[in-house]
Amino acid sequence: GSPQRFSLTGVTPEIGNVDALYADPDNTYVYLLDKAGKRVVVVEKDGKYKAQYLNDQIATATNLVVSEADKKIILLTGEKLLSIDLKNI
């Protein structure tokens, strides 16, 4: 496809570094892993803020997968999988 402009709006505090990103054509949103902020930020596909999930264990995650159908964020750490229930979307 053709390149699309993408910029984050409404995310507070701002994300310094996106450690992983999950986007799927079947999902409504894009999910950003911010290890330093210990959070997963949810934005619309145009970059507009929707929600965020905070947890100290997110700092140990290396990647993420999201199933909006199952309402789950799955985070991969070095030795285990962590699950977060999607509640705000």
11-67 pLDDT, tens per residue?
999 998 999 999 999 999 999 999 999 999 999 999 999 999 999 999 999 999 999
Return the structure tokens found at 73: 């964020």
How far apart are the C-alpha atoms of 86 and 42, rounded to whole Å? 10
- Identity of the amino acid at 27: N
Task: Assess whether pLDDT exceeds 80 at residue 89.
Answer: no
- Identity of the amino acid at 43: V
Q: What is the DSSP letter of 9?
A: B
How far apart are the C-alpha atoms of 62 and 19, rounded to whole Å? 7
Query: How confident is the model at residue 16, as a pLDDT?
Result: 87
On the question of a cis peptide bond just before residue 13, with omega within 30 degrees of 0, the verdict is: yes
